[in-house]
Copies of this chain bind each other. A is one copy, B any other.
Amino acid sequence: MSKCDQCIVRQLNSLKELSKDELIRISECKTSTLIKRGDVLFDEGEHINGVFCIRDGVCKVSKMSANGKDQIIKLIKKGDLIGERSLISNETSNLKAVALNDMEVCFIPKEEIMKDLRQNSNFTMSILNDLAAALKQSDNVVVDMAQKTVKQRLAETLLHLNKNFDTKENGALDIQLSREDLANIIGTATESAIRLLSGFKKEKLIDLKGKEIFILDIVKLKNLSEGF
């Protein structure tokens, strides 16, 4: 079993606040798993009973709406923790997580994390900070969903992907999203997302090759997302 205290990924999240001893304890109880594209990491209503630390890969985190559509709330990637919210509230998950490509994730059981939360106040403060940042982010998304048009939201989403994900050697965004996934991030019908993407391509804001997306004009996308 790999050692948490030697894992680079740890430096990217709140686990960096743990002491060497605490990390060794975590190492001994954690489990590592390979998750295949399309596999469900956890589902709505499930008891997660711990937190996941993403070593590699990307997953979409969504919530089913009353009308049967899956709204994607966020994308989680290498270095992210997920499951803290449900753990803290001591509730089943309100969200579902599905791998967008093959992933490697570590699972740390609830009791071990709770122990650190009780004993290491730097760790607690870091988690508190994460939740505060997530809440701010979520409130911002509420405003965008409520006030921006679908076109603005698509532009914004593309910029967000460009900022938060690497690009491949050929310049394409290194994240594999179906048109339906994109529509479920934006909160629109798949056909509308496809049409707008085609429009953006025609206006040379982006280029499309299959699922590959190339961001061509950040400035115009930014203007668009702000309503100009």
Contacts and interface: CB of A to CB of B under 8 A. Distances in A.
A219 interface: no
A142 B64 CA distance: 11
A147 B88 contact: no
A14 interface: no
Query: How many identical subunits does the complex contain?
Result: 2
A175 to B, nearest CB: 20
Interface of A: 63, 65-67, 69, 71, 73, 84-85, 88-89, 91, 94-95, 117-118, 121, 124-125, 127-129, 131-136, 138-148, 186-187, 225-227
Given A89-B129, A227-B67, A142 B143 contact: no
Given A89-B133, A128-B131, A146 B187 contact: yes
Contacts of A132: 84-85, 88-89, 131
A63 B85 CA distance: 24
A128 B124 contact: yes
Contacts of A127: 128
A199 B132 CA distance: 39
A140 B139 CA distance: 11
A145 B143 CA distance: 9
A118 to B, nearest CB: 7
A74 to B, nearest CB: 9
20 contacts: A65-B147, A67-B148, A71-B142, A71-B143, A88-B125, A88-B128, A88-B129, A88-B132, A89-B132, A124-B124, A128-B131, A131-B131, A131-B135, A135-B135, A138-B138, A138-B142, A145-B146, A145-B187, A146-B186, A147-B187
Contacts of A144: 65
A125 B147 CA distance: 34
Contact of A141 (B118, B129, B142): B142
A1 B69 CA distance: 53
Contacts of A148: 65-67
Given A71-B143, A88-B128, A145-B146, A227 B134 contact: no
A225 B66 CA distance: 9
A225 to B, nearest CB: 8
